[in-house]
């Protein structure tokens, strides 16, 4: 953005230092002393089924535009994880879903992300691409485009959903052994 | 902090507006266009036992200084939820713990918090107050200071731990019906 002539450029939280009473470096604004605490972000999503078919969305945006993903995204302020997963299904696939159980909690420490996927059911089979999706579709297990999945955790969540089957009381799955989500 | 005479005060992300392609207001810096995406924060903690006794910490800091809590705190960048829970047990109670299972996921939407508590075991009974604790102690169930607990979710996690007992495969609990963590 253009700046009025002579205006100083605000630097914002740009100095790395350990605040008093803390034990690690934070970004601090050298002008006003504001401390920026950055923390991991939560991604909420769902493996949502209509009968035996799984809802996937082909991404219209980067990263991984053109690849298939589960409806999922960053949790917003003042919502719950369940409401966030429902909102993402609506935003990305215009899908109305009912949450059944917490399927998995994945950690991607490189990205400072915690991803929470729910097992869910579509309330109707009316789906449509939202603004971040190129298309949306319902896939039977043997139709899933495995080589065109957007992220490792999409593959994990699909596998864990299959593994859990119809179990009603189960512990949510975590990252597969040795997998950190660092690459596909 | 004092400002040099004549220096402009950097305003930082202070203007509320909906960025292009977004659907909700964010804080935007009117000087440089920086968009601040605020998302919920994750609290990680544990119900950690030495035989049948539960580790609690009496808080040395606000909020709720002087009240008892489970070892828990904000997850840091580039760590996993499990590592975060272990780190908090060490920082607050100098306790070394082993994580067994995800006990509960609580949502406190008013605070934009997701709290994840693990069931854990102390590896030794050597514990000591860390800088944020006034004292630490191991409590049998009927010794728990129920009226001096710091937060609703401490009470929830203790109750859910008791309810789950020795079960090995269980779904993590959520907020008790109707409870949002808004008050004690």
Mark yes or no for CB contact B10/A7 under 8 Å: no
ipTM above 0.90, yes or no: no
pLDDT digits (tens, 9 = 90+) for A65-82: 999 999 999 999 999 999
Q: Residue B35: what pLDDT?
A: 79
**Mean of per-residue pLDDT scores for chain B:** 91
Backbone angles phi, psi at A148, to 5 degrees: -120, 30
Q: A94 in the Ramachandran plot: left (φ > 0), alpha (ψ -120 to 50) or beta?
A: left
Residues of A with Cβ-Cβ distance to B105 under 8 angstroms: 81, 102, 105, 116
Q: Which residue in B7, B33, B102 is closest to A1 by CB distance?
A: B33
- Give CA–CA dist A57/A129, Å, rounded: 7
Q: Which residues of A fall within a CB distance of 8 Å from B1?
A: 31-33
**pLDDT of the residue at A42:** 97
Question: How does residue A2 score in pLDDT terms, banded at 50, 70 and 90?
Answer: very low
pLDDT tens for each residue of B43-82:
999 999 999 999 999 999 999 999 999 999 999 999 999 9
Beta-strand ranges (E) seen in B18-161 are 26-28, 35-36, 41-50, 53-59, 68-69, 72-74, 97-108, 113-122, 133-139
Under an 8 A CB cutoff, do B77 and A37 touch?
no
Does B107 contact A82 at a Cβ distance shorter than 8 Å?
A: yes
pLDDT band of residue B8 (cuts 50, 70, 90) is low
**Cβ–Cβ below 8 Å for B39 and A107:** no
**Structure tokens of A51?**
């009968």
Q: How confident is the model at residue A54 (pLDDT cuts 50, 70, 90)?
A: very high
């Amino acid at each position: 953005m253009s700046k009025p002539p002579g205006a100083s450029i605000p630097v914002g939280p740009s100095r790395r230092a350990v605040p008093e009473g803390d034990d690690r470096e934070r970004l601090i604004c050298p002008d006003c002393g504001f401390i920026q605490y950055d923390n991991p972000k939560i991604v909420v999503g769902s493996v949502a089924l209509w009968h035996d078919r799984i809802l996937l969305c082909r991404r219209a945006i980067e990263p991984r535009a053109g690849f298939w993903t589960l409806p999922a995204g960053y949790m917003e302020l003042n919502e719950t994880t369940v409401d966030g997963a429902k909102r993402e299904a609506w935003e990305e696939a215009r899908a109305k879903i009912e949450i059944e159980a917490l399927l998995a909690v994945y950690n991607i420490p490189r990205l400072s992300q915690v991803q929470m996927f729910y097992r869910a059911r579509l309330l109707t089979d009316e789906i449509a691409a939202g603004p971040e999706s190129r298309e949306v579709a319902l896939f039977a297990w043997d139709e899933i485009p495995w080589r065109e999945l957007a992220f490792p955790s999409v593959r994990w969540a699909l596998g864990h959903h299959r593994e859990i089957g119809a179990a009603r009381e189960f512990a949510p799955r975590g990252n597969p052994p040795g997998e950190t989500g660092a690459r596909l």
